[in-house]
Amino acid sequence: MLYFALHELSYMGFCEAVLDVTTTTLKIVDDNGNVWGCTLIYDNTDYAHFKIGGGWKRMVLARNLRQGSPILPGASMAGMNETLYLRVTRK
Instruction: Count up the domains in the chain and report the number.
Output: 1
Residue 27 confidence (pLDDT) = 95
Position 91 in a domain: no
Q: pLDDT tens digit string along 4-42?
A: 555 677 777 888 889 889 989 999 999 999 999 999 999
Specify the pTM: 0.80
Q: pLDDT tens digit string along 70-83?
A: 888 889 888 888 99
CA distance 91 to 25: 31
Range of the domain at 45: 2-67
Position 22 in a domain: yes
Side by side, the strands of the sheet bearing 70-74 are 2-3, 70-74, 83-88, 25-30, 35-43, 49-54, 8-10
CA distance 79 to 77: 6
Position 80 in a domain: no
Q: pLDDT confidence of 1, banded at 50, 70, 90? A: very low
Measured in degrees and rounded to the nearest 5, phi and psi for residue 57 equal -65, -40
Position 83 in a domain: no
CA distance 49 to 8: 7
Residue 46 confidence (pLDDT) = 87
